[in-house]
Structure 1
Amino acid sequence: MSETATTAQPNSGPYAWYVVAVLILAYTFSFIDRQILTLMVGPIRATLGISDFQLSLLHGLAFALFYSVLGIPIGMMVDRKKRTTIIAIGIAVWSVMTSLCGVAQNFVHLFVARMGVGVGEAALSPGAYSMISDYFPPHQRPRALSLYTSAAYIGGGIATMAGGALIALMPPLNLPGVGTLQPWQAIFIVVGLPGLLVALLVATVREPRRTGLKVGAHPNFSEVRGHLSTWRGAYGLLIIGYAVSGIMWNGAIAWIPTYFIRHFGWTASQVSLPYGLITIGGGVGGINLGGWIATRLRQHGRLDANIIVGLIAIAVAMPSGIAATFAGTPTLALFLFTMFLFGCAIPWGGAVAALQEVTPNQMRGQVSAIYLFCLSLIGIGIGPTLVAGFTDHLFGNDAALGKSIALTIAIAAPVSALLLSLARKPYCRALGAVSF
């Protein structure tokens, strides 16, 4: 990495948007590999003989554990080394580990493979956030980061639709040395291996020049912790507020396909297409609207624009998500879940942009990793497991899944709204005092 200092703002152009497109492709594949599990709850439970709670650990804790813990040292590498190489290696790792999920013979094997997926994916977003922030000036970052983050919904939707089609079409496979694989196992192999080509594409992307970087500055974790402590009101309330919001989102999306299967008697193939479409439509629409709103508010002088969109998101997502679980028909439930996904998607580009605005360039990788650490352990780690815990231990009935989803939303949404509301003033003070 060059240590030449530069305080000039980045000047976005066609190549910058090409880089965003490549990173969107990578993030799309990461969510395909991450979310393909949600549509195969029934087959995996039947083959491995596990409960909803164990399944939730595969979806949440197994992935989030190493995704979170390794994110911080990877974030330090992002601040010091070539980001495109780090991201490319991460893509290759998670792609191979996704394929290895397909040869799992028991719960422990699948748990370990899912941890490996988390290890690889921990390299993507800290590097992507840092690169995009160097390619775009502050007023364009919410829009660019919203486009990048929208890939989560594109990938989740594709995973759902492709998973449903593959479940219907995929026969058992017989691999030498492995034996007969069930269709769900073969699907993991099919969706995992193409990611290796994406890794090669990312490796060809030009590394951006780091803007606002002090000559020779390589802060260690204690220095980053000191910066966060100085502005702990802004960082703490903002990060934890969005992480708690992630409980609502991750808790619901992990179980919505299963809800339709259990409550309305749909098959996995029946739910895959409509749910995939509403995931893409609601998610991409919401996150890009959020980026547009944040950009407009920021241009009109609202320093807390990136937090306001988080409060708007909760106002849309909470009532629609709860109402969806009480809908009498699958059509109405799909419509309300569309509104829920639309609302949940609104804040995420702004959330990332908010952190980049108050963080020095040489700390962005580590701060992004801390942000993702909290989102993963709290949102991904707790959300799906909380829903499953309510189903298994509070209601004691698989058919009560809708109540579990509604209760999780009803708990997480108000707490998130309170934390984000409290974050507005300290964040504005930090933004007014710190300039990068």
Structure 2
Amino acid sequence: MIPVSSTAQDYAGKRPNWLVATVLFMFAYLMSFIDRQILSILINPIKHDLNIDTTQFALLTGFAFSCIFGLIAFPMATQTDKRNRLPIILVSIIVWSSATVGCGFANSFAELFVMRALVGAGEAALAPAMLSYLADYIEERRLAGAIGAFSFGSFLGAGFSYLLGGYLLSLPGGSPLDGYEVWRVAFIAAGLPGYVIAVLIALFLRDPKRSAETRAMAAARKIAAPRVSAIRVFRDRWQFFCMMMGGYTMLACVLYTLLGWSAALYFSRFQMPAEVVGRDVGICFALGGGCGALLSGAIANRLYPRFRTAAPYIVGAVSGLLAAGLVLGSLFAPSYGQSMVLLFFGTFFAAMSMPSENSSLQMAVEPELRGQFSAGLLFVNNVIGLSISSFLVGYLAQHVFADHGGILWGEAVVIGLCGIFGPLLVWRACLRREHPVAGVAYAA
């Protein structure tokens, strides 16, 4: 029997606090994805004004964001496991918001690359700190639902980024600010609200103390440096972690490909105007993806009494297979309308994998190591998954399939491979999963 953590018992009387935290963190996550994804809808004016090609744009959407992210994710996560998490969250929000505003003042590929790298730096510690914070309040059997609500913000943010960019690009008078191109205004408008979220978090939240159980478990292991313990845990269970992180990263690549290249595909294949693409793709991500993220947590919670810790893996593997089939169908649909319908449902199922991966990881590792392992998963997702998938789509489009569909076939190759092998690895990880109880990993 898997016990309810003392953390949940310690904070059961503070339910309003974790509800407030969940809502504020959801909005912070929403803003982070607006700032991350606003670049995608702005592909044409940025390429024109800064004179960059498709491969360089692929680097901006992928590697530029993830390069610094990977360098600082682990040190920041170590601090997350040892120190007050709220200052880390606040600094992260301020850094990425400022960098997004800075993107609006970039005058070259190099300058925009640096600003995008700083956006990644600001977001490196955000999710590990927030997930660790929420896990200190919520019982395991309800954790998937809360993480689903938290992840809901990412899809709202991705959708709003398309809606905002499409709206600004469609203004009949051009840029609303004299002397600034419309894409610059879009970056500035996307970055400023982050400061408001930071102020609200500083005013309304306090960091929960580490639970007595967590401190006792740490003392029993004689942890002098949490990173050493994380390495030991990973080494002892490396096959499980490689399959879980690898599988979920492949599922994430399906989402990254959609987020980064959907606008470019509809511009090139159907010659649709920016305002139409921004509206329709924005609705797919905000409504389809958001509902998928929320439903993922609810389904995992319903499955928990019967399947226990296998529940989020089941949701992730099944939804990943369905998403790949629907998304591939949207790529080759004969009309724009049919493609958009398939994209909506493909995004719905693709979104279900994000809460599943976070829930799986939070249940799989010891409480005092959650921040570091969350950073590890984000490192694999972003540095390996996002960088490689985004670059691969751009490279294939420009150098391999330039005369045969370009972006269409670049997306199809990446989504097809990830959609097959991702669910397989997630299921294999489910069969090997272990669950930490009182500092010892037992078979689930």
Query: Comparing 225-234 with 36-45, which one deviates more in the overlay?
Result: 225-234
Query: Comparing 228-237 with 147-156, which one deviates more in the overlay?
Result: 228-237
CA distance in 2, matches of 1:318, 1:82: 40
Query: Comparing 322-331 with 180-189, which one deviates more in the overlay?
Result: 180-189
Q: 1:262 to 1:122 in 2, by over 3 A?
A: same
Q: 1:156 to 1:119 in 2, by over 3 A?
A: same
Could you say which residue in structure 2 is the equivalent of 1:86?
A: 88
CA distance in 1, matches of 2:292, 2:434: 25
Contact 1:303–1:431 at 8 Å: present in 2 too?
no
Q: Does 1:171 pair with 2:175? A: yes
Cα shift readout 1:283-335 (whole Å, capped 9, x = no counterpart): 11111221112111112134311111111112211111111111111110000
Q: Does 1:214 pair with 2:220? A: no
- Quote how far apart the aligned CAs of 1:81 are: 1.3
Query: Comparing 37-46 with 218-227, which one deviates more in the overlay?
Result: 218-227
Q: Which residue type is aligned with residue 16 of structure 2? A: P
Could you say which residue in structure 1 is the equivalent of 2:151?
A: 149
Q: 1:430 to 1:88 in 2, by over 3 A?
A: closer
Identity %: 29
- The 3-state SS of whatever aligns with 1:298 is helix
Q: 2:324 aligns with which of 301, 318, 324?
A: 318
- Quote how far apart the aligned CAs of 1:8 are: 5.9
Contact 1:257–1:271 at 8 Å: present in 2 too?
yes
Could you say which residue in structure 2 is the equivalent of 1:48?
A: 50
Could you say which residue in structure 2 is the equivalent of 1:274?
A: 280
Could you say which residue in structure 1 is the equivalent of 2:253?
A: 247
Query: Comparing 244-253 with 117-126, which one deviates more in the overlay?
Result: 244-253
Count of aligned positions: 427
Cα shift readout 1:182-232 (whole Å, capped 9, x = no counterpart): 211122112112211111112221212323312565633222110111122
Could you say which residue in structure 2 is the equivalent of 1:294?
A: 300
Could you say which residue in structure 1 is the equivalent of 2:441?
A: 434
Could you say which residue in structure 2 is the equivalent of 1:382?
A: 388
Query: Comparing 181-190 with 125-134, which one deviates more in the overlay?
Result: 181-190
Q: Which residue type is aligned with residue 414 of structure 2? A: T
Contact 2:152–2:293 at 8 Å: present in 1 too?
yes
Cα shift readout 1:222-243 (whole Å, capped 9, x = no counterpart): 2211011112222221111111
- Quote how far apart the aligned CAs of 1:87 are: 0.3
Could you say which residue in structure 2 is the equivalent of 1:117?
A: 119
Contact 1:210–1:361 at 8 Å: present in 2 too?
no
Could you say which residue in structure 2 is the equivalent of 1:107?
A: 109
Cα shift readout 1:363-395 (whole Å, capped 9, x = no counterpart): 111111111100101221112211111101111
CA distance in 1, matches of 2:374, 2:241: 11
- The 3-state SS of whatever aligns with 1:104 is coil
Q: Which residue type is aligned with residue 441 of structure 2? A: V
Query: Comparing 127-136 with 409-418, which one deviates more in the overlay?
Result: 409-418
Q: Which residue type is aligned with residue 171 of structure 1? A: S
Q: Which residue type is aligned with residue 168 of structure 1? A: S
CA distance in 2, matches of 1:349, 1:332: 28
Q: 1:203 to 1:7 in 2, by over 3 A?
A: closer
- Quote how far apart the aligned CAs of 1:134 are: 0.6
- Quote how far apart the aligned CAs of 1:27 are: 0.4
- Quote how far apart the aligned CAs of 1:91 are: 0.2
Q: 2:134 aligns with which of 132, 135, 138?
A: 132
Query: Comparing 141-150 with 393-402, which one deviates more in the overlay?
Result: 393-402
Could you say which residue in structure 2 is the equivalent of 1:265?
A: 271
CA distance in 2, matches of 1:194, 1:267: 27
Could you say which residue in structure 2 is the equivalent of 1:334?
A: 340
- Quote how far apart the aligned CAs of 1:163 are: 1.1
- Quote how far apart the aligned CAs of 1:144 are: 0.1
Q: Does 1:425 pair with 2:431? A: yes
Unmatched tracts of structure 2, length 5 or more:
none
Could you say which residue in structure 2 is the equivalent of 1:186?
A: 185
CA distance in 2, matches of 1:314, 1:168: 34
CA distance in 2, matches of 1:8, 1:243: 29
Q: Which residue type is aligned with residue 251 of structure 1? A: T
Q: 2:378 aligns with which of 372, 384, 392?
A: 372
Contact 2:319–2:350 at 8 Å: present in 1 too?
yes
- The 3-state SS of whatever aligns with 1:301 is helix
Contact 1:166–1:187 at 8 Å: present in 2 too?
yes
CA distance in 1, matches of 2:291, 2:186: 29
- Quote how far apart the aligned CAs of 1:168 are: 2.2
- Quote how far apart the aligned CAs of 1:398 are: 8.4
Contact 2:321–2:420 at 8 Å: present in 1 too?
no
Could you say which residue in structure 1 is the equivalent of 2:412?
A: 406
Q: 2:289 aligns with which of 283, 289, 300?
A: 283
- Quote how far apart the aligned CAs of 1:112 are: 0.4
Cα shift readout 1:399-420 (whole Å, capped 9, x = no counterpart): 4322221121111111112211
- The 3-state SS of whatever aligns with 1:181 is coil
Contact 2:7–2:138 at 8 Å: present in 1 too?
no
Q: 2:76 aligns with which of 74, 77, 82?
A: 74
- The 3-state SS of whatever aligns with 1:287 is helix
